[in-house]
Amino acid sequence: MKTVSLFSGCGGLDLGFVKSGFQITAAYDSDRAAITCYNTNHVAPAKQVRISSSFSLEQDVEVLIAGPPCQGFSTVGKNQANDRRNFLFLETCEIAARSQPKVLVLENVSVFPVSAYGTDLRL
């Protein structure tokens, strides 16, 4: 299945999907070093972009995978409610709503569902 990756980092989540038979057709992250690592180890080239709710995917998507940043509410991090990255999870949901993938996989830390941001999410 054609799969697009958001917040792909160096591609660990993507690798698992590729090994399971999925075809990553595009990957996006904002970190230059992560993009360099990704492009060294994966077939589909990753692009460096700022992912926000206004970001639009360049193609139809069957599967959308995303690992938005968790530093603002992770128990390992500083747990800062005002960390601007905290909103990227919900912005990812907005991108998914517009692109209408058949499958959406959102990966994050285990405390996300009980964080202030996770409780806002209605599934």
Q: Which of 52, 79, 46 minimizes the C-alpha distance to 68?
A: 52
- Confirm whether 10 is a catalytic residue: no
Residue type, 39: N
Exactly one of 10, 37, 70, 93 is catalytic; which is it? Answer: 70
Give the pair of three-digit tokens for residue 103: 């499958």
Give the side-chain half-sphere CA count within 13 A for 81. Answer: 2
Active-site positions? 70
